[in-house]
Amino acid sequence: MKNARWIKLANDLTKGITTGEFPLHSYLPTEAELCAQYNVSRYTVRLALADLTRMGLIRRWPRLGSKVVSVGFDESYARSFTSVSEIDHLSSTHKREIQLTQECVVDQELAQKLECEKYLRFLRFTNIRTHPTDEGKPVVWTAVYVNAAYSKLPELARHNPLVLLSTLIEKEYGERCQEVTQKISAVPLPAEAAISLNATPGSPALRILRHYLGIRRNILEISESYHPGDRYSLTINMQNGRRDVR
C-alpha cells in the first residue's frame, strides 16, 4: 500500500534518531537522497518528514534540510522501552501454540471488553503457552487481535513460538511497538479459555489486557490473556527513578 511506504520511512527515520544513527543537532539525508535510498516519491518523503516534525523530532528549513532537534525520549525512558519484551517473561521460555484463527469486526460488546473503538477490522487468533517441563498443563490462554492486514502473522507466530508478536509485526510489516499499556484484573475464568487450559470455568483467574501501540499511538495488537489462579504469579520490581542533582 502506498500509505504504508511513508509510514515505514517515518518509522525507520524515527528509529535512526532514537538509536543515535542521526544524533541530536545533525541533519537527516536530503529529500533526494531519501527518494533514491527508499525508491519512493518526493511526496512520500515529505509525508514522512512532516510526521517527524509533528512529533517534535526534527525541524525543517528551506535550503538547509531537516535538523534533529530531539531524540524523542530521555535516558530513563529509553532504558525502559528496551525492556518491552520483559513485560511478558513467559515469552522466552514458554512455547506458544496457535489455535483458532478468524477475522472479526469489533461490535459494541467487544469494544467495551477490549477498550477500543467500534468497527475495527481485526484478525483474531487464540493461543496457549505451556510450561517447558509440563506441556500438558498450559499456564495461559490468550486471544490476540491484530490489524486484519497482518494476515501472515499467525503463520509467523507458529514458526517462531518464543518470539513476541510485536517483534514479528515490526520485522514483517515495519511497524515498531512504541508503548504497551497493561491492565490486570481478577476475574472468573471464561469457558473458552477454561477448555484450552484444562481448568474449571468460573474458577479464579488473572486477566491481563494489553494494548501494543505504534509511534502514532495506533493499535498494532490487543491481547487478552487469562491465567488460572493457581498457575501464575506476577512479581514486579520497582526502583526509585529520582536522579541526584549536583
What was the pLDDT predicted at 209? 94
Which residue has better confidence, 46 or 235?
Answer: 46
pTM listed for this prediction: 0.61
Residue 139 sits in the same domain as residue 188: yes
How far does the chain reach from its first CA to its final CA, in angstroms?
A: 52
Residue 15 sits in the same domain as residue 109: no
Residue 27 sits in the same domain as residue 105: no
- The reply to whether 240 falls in a domain is no
Please write the tens of the pLDDT for every residue from 115-172.
Answer: 998 899 999 999 998 876 666 678 899 999 998 889 899 889 888 887 888 888 988 9
Kindly report the CATH number assigned to the domain that includes residue 91: 3.40.1410.10
Residue 171 sits in the same domain as residue 184: yes
- The reply to whether 244 falls in a domain is no
What was the pLDDT predicted at 224? 96
Give me the sheet containing 219-228, strands edge to edge. 96-105, 121-131, 134-147, 219-228, 204-213, 179-188
Of 80, 99, 116, which marks where a domain is finished?
Answer: 80
Task: Over range 79-85, report the average pLDDT.
Answer: 43
Please write the tens of the pLDDT for every residue from 171-225.
Answer: 899 888 888 888 889 999 999 999 999 999 999 999 999 999 888 888 899 999 9
Residue 73 sits in the same domain as residue 87: no
